Amino acid sequence: MNISVPLLLSLVDVVILRRNAPGTRALNPPGAASSGMDDIFREPVVYDTQSGAQTEGREDAMQYQPPIRVQCQVETTMYNLLNTVASGNIPDSQVIFVTHRKQLRELGLIDPVTGNALIRTGDLVTSLERTNQGVTVLTFPGKGLYITEVRPASWGFGIDGHDLHLIIAEPRDQGSR
């Protein structure tokens, strides 16, 4: 007997940009580097878009795939703590997006061989949109929130042994992904 756990309050879609490693490698950024990927450090090349030694004009060469929209529940316990802290900067400012495995499979985001989610650490969450309406509800500051962990949840339910995936994201400074 299979019991499926649905999403309860899924009124929004999380908009995710997955990293595009081949596109990053193929990019020829300004400066001495001939590829957007540094093979020694295994990370995107960082380059200046303005003259001088300032950080405002600094960009990285990371390229992303087109955005995907995944229906989700948003767990905001840690995110809401930001509103109560005077400085607005606490290390536990995570946002958790609860997604359903069935929809991930329909979107081609489950590896058919391993069964693992194809959303990875380092992918970027840019905004939340009203489900099936394309209306932006919330845009995250800077480039967005970086995904720090993707893990299965609701063990014992569904045909795969779990129905849900937790996507944990947080704001990060560039270069600390």
Within-domain flag for 153: yes
Instruction: Name the helix (H) or strand (E) containing 72.
Output: strand 68-75
pLDDT at 153 over 90: no
- Domain tally, the chain: 2
Within-domain flag for 6: no
Within-domain flag for 1: no
> Per residue in 48-70, pLDDT tens?
777 665 666 677 888 999 999 99
Half-sphere exposure of 170 (CA within 13 A, CB side): 18
112, 33: one domain? no
Q: What would the mean pLDDT of 6-28 be, rounded to a whole number?
A: 86
State residue 47's pLDDT score: 79
139, 99: one domain? yes
State residue 9's pLDDT score: 72
Within-domain flag for 7: no
- pTM of the predicted structure, to 2 decimals: 0.79
In angstroms and rounded to an integer, the radius of gyration of the C-alpha atoms of the chain is 18
Mean pLDDT for the chain? 81
pLDDT at 113 over 70: yes
Q: Which two tokens stand for residue 163?
A: 């129905």
CA distance 60 to 49: 10
Query: Structural domain of residue 115, as residue ranges?
Result: 12-20+63-170
86, 158: one domain? yes
State residue 3's pLDDT score: 67
CA distance 71 to 161: 20
> Per residue in 74-105, pLDDT tens?
886 655 555 555 555 555 568 999 999 889 99
Euclidean distance between the first and the last CA atom of the chain, given in angstroms as a whole number: 41
Q: Which residues of 85-98 are buried (b: 16+ CB within 10 A; e: fewer)?
A: eeeeeeeebbbbbb
103, 78: one domain? yes
pLDDT at 5 over 50: yes
40, 121: one domain? no
100, 84: one domain? yes
State residue 143's pLDDT score: 87
Q: What would the mean pLDDT of 110-135 be, rounded to a whole number?
A: 92
Within-domain flag for 177: no
53, 70: one domain? no
pLDDT at 31 over 80: no
- Which carries the bigger pLDDT value, residue 140 or residue 17? 17
Rounding to the nearest 10 degrees, give the CA dihedral for residues 156, 101, 62, 137: -110
Sign of the C-alpha dihedral, residues 96, 124, 177, 101? Answer: positive
52, 88: one domain? no
pLDDT at 38 over 50: yes
33, 75: one domain? no
105, 50: one domain? no
